Copies of this chain bind each other. A is one copy, B any other.
Amino acid sequence: MALEGSQACCLLRLSLFLFLFLSAVSGSHPPSERLMSSASAIRAASNQTKKTAPDVAAEVGRYADVAKRIIERAVFGAAQNRSYRRLADFTDTVGNRVSGSQNLERAIRYMYDAMKQDGLEVHLEPVKIPHWVRGKESAEMVVPRAKTLAILGLGSSVATPPEGIEAEVLVVQSFEELKRRASEAAGRIVVFNQPFISYGETVSYRAFGASEAARVGAVATLIRSVTPFSINSPHTGWQTYRDGVKRIPTACITVEDAELLWRLARNKQKIVVRLVMGAQTLPDADSFNTVAEIRGWQRPEQVVLLSGHLDSWDVGQGAMDDGGGALISWEALSLIKDLGLRPRRTLRAVLWTAEEQGGVGAQQYFKLHKENISNFDLVMESDLGTFTPMALQFTGSDAARKVMEEVVNLLAPINTTKLEAGAEGTDISQWMQAGVPGASLHVADSRYFWFHHSEGDTMTVQDPHDMNLCSALWAVVAYVVADLQDMLPR
């Protein structure tokens, strides 16, 4: 990965050089003069409110120099690898940080201090968050032979009795098969060995497997981890008990063990498993969304919000999910501040709390701030990894899309000028549903779910050069949108 990174870096350096060179040759002013005068030129340029497409293109196009300066600094300049280093220092110091944990408290304090020390305006907004603790947990196949099963209990699961639950196993491959074999489920531990189709589709087994099995009398569930690839790695995640259905203990097992149990069952072997889980749900805990700002010079009440979540699961380091998203959101503000830039509107980085429990911090934020919804220009979230950026995903009106198409053109020096439909992000979804334009990062994420919610979510999966690119993209988009004459049309 390091070698590939440095090769890509050389190519980018070359293309940026050519880009700058060609701009200088073709421009009417020498490049130094153009760079110095760009901010004032932009401010003077436009004062009508209804713009034609050429107007938009011309207005956004005047940010080409600023965009190049941001990119240069993030990818090759003084800020090179800074977001990676900050992420490593943060996650190496704090570790993982699940909702309700002391580690999450430490993480918030750490980031508050760090961003303050970076010269940003920082404040905390209180949120009550769930406090589920894993406790000691284990599973063992005891018949037909003794074998330890690697497990991770699922967030919100109840415990087993202290001595555990020992029961015969029913293995099914789908909810349909469970329905068909409902008469066999009573008193059993139901094992779901569903194939991985996609995260969006397959995660329903993790989310609702326990209640579906409890409906037909199961005493516990063990669910194949939601991943396309495994080195015997269990993956955790939140699960939801359906109302009016008995709450039974539930955990994920590995792909390998799910397949083993399925093969044994297919061969008509009797299987008995002993499951012990000490999970507890404690009273809600006090926490905070962490907010850092660069106040707008002209319309400080208008906001471009860029975000990631600070909480993680209680395994690995939470470097990928979502340390990376939080850190590039901070980094974007640092880059803009470093360059002495201050946009027309406020740039606000929000590091959400308790995203993994269903966007708890973000819901609270929406409730508190929705009365100002007309001042929210664009809401951005990065929560699908900070690997090589491929495109910006965008949700908004056609008119807004036309503006954004011009904005991503500014990313030509790093070859990420693609604008895709459909921004994603638990924490920004309420704003988007209410009509605020939204944006998210599409990265080269083919391995994202290999590590997701597992002990494998560590700094080892992160690449400094990729994070430079993500930070540059994030900063250019946020800055330019926050500085345009007009807010994005709804």
Q: Which B residues touch A260, using CB under 8 A?
A: 92, 317, 458-459
Q: Is the CB of A263 within 8 A of B144?
A: no
Tallying the copies of this chain within the complex gives 2
Q: Is the CB of B456 within 8 A of A256?
A: yes
A95-B145, A95-B147, A460-B230 known; A267+B455 contact, CB < 8 A: no
A135-170 to B contact mask, C-beta < 8 Å, 1/0:
000000000110100100000000000000000000
Q: Which of B95, B145, B454 contacts A232, CB < 8 Å?
A: B454
A10 at interface (Cβ–Cβ under 8 A)?
A: no
Q: Is the CB of A232 within 8 A of B316?
A: yes
Q: Which B residues touch A474, using CB under 8 A?
A: none
Residue of A144, A451, A460 with highest tally of chain B CB at under 10 A = A460
User: Which residues in window 343-375 of A have CB below 8 A to B?
Assistant: none
What's the Cα separation between A255 and B459 when bound, in Å?
11
A450 at interface (Cβ–Cβ under 8 A)?
A: yes
Q: Which of B89, B93, B231 contacts A451, CB < 8 Å?
A: B231
Q: Is the CB of B456 within 8 A of A231?
A: yes
What's the Cα separation between A347 and B359 when bound, in Å?
65
Q: Which B residues touch A144, using CB under 8 A?
A: 93
User: Which residues in window 218-247 of A have CB below 8 A to B?
Assistant: 230-233
What's the Cα separation between A454 and B456 when bound, in Å?
15
A427-466 to B contact mask, C-beta < 8 Å, 1/0:
0000000000000000000000011001110111000000
Q: Which B residues touch A95, using CB under 8 A?
A: 145, 147
A88 at interface (Cβ–Cβ under 8 A)?
A: yes
Q: Is the CB of B92 within 8 A of A456?
A: no
A259 at interface (Cβ–Cβ under 8 A)?
A: yes
User: Which residues in window 244-273 of A have CB below 8 A to B?
Assistant: 255-256, 259-260, 263-264, 267
Q: Is the CB of A256 within 8 A of B458?
A: yes
Q: Is the CB of A460 within 8 A of B259?
A: yes
Q: Is the CB of B259 within 8 A of A456?
A: no
Number of A interface residues at 8 Å Cβ cutoff, please give it.
Answer: 30
Shortest CB distance A182–B (Å): 27
Q: Which of B88, B267, B450 contacts A263, CB < 8 Å?
A: B88
Q: Which B residues touch A233, using CB under 8 A?
A: 231-233
User: Nearest B residue to A145 by beta-carbon distance?
Assistant: B95
What's the Cα separation between A236 and B231 when bound, in Å?
14
A93-B144, A95-B145 known; A459+B259 contact, CB < 8 A: yes
Q: Is the CB of B92 within 8 A of A264?
A: yes
Q: Which B residues touch A458, using CB under 8 A?
A: 232, 256, 259-260
Q: Is the CB of A93 within 8 A of B231?
A: no
Q: Which of B93, B263, B317, B450 contacts A459, CB < 8 Å?
A: B263
What's the Cα separation between A89 and B268 when bound, in Å?
12
User: Nearest B residue to A94 by beta-carbon distance?
Assistant: B145
Interfacial residues, chain A to chain B (CB-CB below 8 A): 88-89, 92-93, 95, 144-145, 147, 150, 230-233, 255-256, 259-260, 263-264, 267, 316-317, 450-451, 454-456, 458-460
List of 3 A-B pairs having minimum Cβ-Cβ separation, nearest first: A231-B456, A232-B455, A256-B458
Additional 14 contacts, C-beta under 8 A, given A92-B267, A232-B458, A259-B460: A89-B267, A95-B145, A95-B147, A230-B460, A231-B451, A231-B454, A232-B233, A232-B316, A232-B455, A233-B233, A255-B460, A256-B460, A259-B459, A260-B459
Can you give 6 A-B contacts (C-beta < 8 A)? A231-B450, A231-B456, A232-B233, A232-B454, A255-B460, A259-B459
